[in-house]
Amino acid sequence: MKIALAQINTRIGDFQENLNSILSSVERAKSDAADLIVFPELIVCGYPPLDFLEFEDFIDRCNEAILKVAEACHGIAAIVGAPDKNPKSEGKNLFNAAFFLADGKIKQVVHKTLLPTYDIFDEYRYFEPNHGVFECVSYNGVKIALTICEDLWDIEEDKMYTHWPMEQLIKQKPDVMINIAASPFSEGHTQSRKTVLHKAASDFNLPLFYVNHVGAQTELIFDGGSMVLNAKGDVVCELDYFKEDYRVFELDWVKTAKAVPFDTSLLFDGSSSSMKHIHSALILGIRDYFRKLNFKQAILGLSGGIDSAVVFALAAEALGRENVLGVLMPSPYSSDHSISDALELARNLGAPTKTIPINDAFSSLLESLNPHFEGKEAGVTEENIQARIRGLMLMALSNKWGYILLNTSNKSEAAVGYGTLYGDMCGGISVIGDLYKTKVFELANYLNRDKIIIPQNIITKPPSAELRPNQKDSDSLPEYDILDEILQQYIELRIAPSDIKAKGFDPKLVDRVLKLVNTNEYKRYQTPPVLRVSSKAFGLGRRMPIVAKYLS
């Protein structure tokens, strides 16, 4: 049997274009004499469709698309992911399903059993799990154990579920396993994914075909990396990462094929090669956000600091340098080198800039407000006014010219609330909001791997918001290498405060940092969606109450 894997980039709810892409792949597989073509989980509607699944019209369009794909399946079969209506009144109204299409018909439907409800996943909100109906798919003399994403994933010692579909399907003596998935990118997840697939193939002594989504859906970035494993659990072929791909495999070849070398940069071991994949993920995230929303041009505030420099460079690469405008907005406290550094960066990129000083606007606002500030010392309020003037300027240009504002806050700042609501925290999409400050510096050095794009002075000078004379971030925050380690222990690893302190961190500093994290949740609720590259990003995957006492 010849099996084709179609790793395609779809848009949520774009039924016609998604269908066109699926049908084009089916025709390509026919011309390659494939017997079966396999598409990812929920590919018809895109993943994750969220509350669109509650609209009957949305589900009807999914069904119409499935029937049209089935009509094209003559001389070839297809496995296509889509929601399926639950005919029973009990339980949720939908199943997450894999449709097996052949001879112009829906031949069989497999329902997902294990529904993830953690981190960014919330499938049990919408779907009813499969209740004990386990049946292999038979086609052209080959028996297929067909599963959907999480159905192969529960291999940890502390199991999340009480049963595993493959334990039932293996009793039917299948010839091959096929798993369709929607597995998003995050640091280290590629290796975790391979570990899971290796264990499944080797434990059941069966070849395994795995096909994943690729493309960004708002904050979630799907990295592709579909793969084929032999019965020993060796990866014998990987599809591309962060781009569409298509391959055809002969099942008999897979059974005896040898392992391909593993790209060690996917291990995220802290080496510079790990940045290659974070870089690719962010480029795809920016590009798809604009492409899928039919936006063309971006704007951002260009301060001469590391954060805006990295976002400017990423956006220029993703969208084309002519489509990204950097706006310098010097204040009375802006240093000469910040302006010159920003202009040097723009020259290196070949991207346009504007300069709009905010001195007059700042003075005018202070003149209006000073009578109402009588008796109060100047401080954070006046600093925030500068940031909000800049936000106003950027949003005015955005409204007038149709630019989308890129937010340049990093994860360290967002975690401790070191930013101004309706000022530097505004924007349409947060590009580096899931990168701690130390990672931003690493990414800047990666961007300079072939030639200097980001001026060295931007990378080496002490970070500063430049909202008061001689200000440095370290005046308000601990050094970033210390801060980021504490934040990662708490946010990503969920380690208790006492255990963080036991690692040698100053107890008072730990208490202060964790209090800042929890008391600034209200700010993060009001910020743009963050491109997710870590295992625990702010947004969909980290749900915290605003009004709470814990550690605050």
d(CA 150, CA 166): 11
How buried is 251 (Cβ within 10 angstroms: 0-12 exposed, 13-18 middle, 19+ buried)?
middle
Residue 112 among the catalytic residues: yes
Residue 292 among the catalytic residues: no
Judge contact between 52 and 34, C-beta under 8 A.
Answer: no
Q: How far is CA 546 from the centre of its chain?
A: 24
Task: Look up residue 214 and give its two tokens.
Answer: 């690729």
Separation of first and last alpha carbons in the chain: 60
Secondary structure tally for the chain: helices H, strands E? 17, 19
d(CA 399, CA 402): 6
Task: Look up residue 534 and give its two tokens.
Answer: 């870590």
478: how many CB neighbours lie within 10 A of its CB?
18
Contacts 24+ apart (CB under 8 A), 226-231: 226/5, 226/7, 226/40, 227/194, 227/197, 228/5, 228/254, 228/257, 229/197, 229/198, 229/201, 230/201, 230/254, 230/255, 230/256, 230/257, 230/258, 230/259, 231/201, 231/202, 231/205, 231/206, 231/207, 231/255
Residue in this structure with the two tokens 């040097």, named with its chain if needed: 344
Give Cβ neighbours of residue 89 (< 8 Å, ≥ 6 apart): none
Active-site option among 2, 45, 62, 112: 112
Residue 149 among the catalytic residues: yes
Amino acid 77 reads A
Residue in this structure with the two tokens 């001389």, named with its chain if needed: 75
Q: How many residues are given for the chain?
A: 552
Pick from 12, 428, 432: which is nearest to 182 by CA?
Answer: 12
Active-site option among 45, 73, 136, 149: 149
State which H helix or E strand residue 89 sits in. Answer: none
Which ranges of 108-243 does DSSP label H, i.e. alpha helix?
165-169, 189-204
Give catalytic residues, as residue numbers: 41, 112, 149
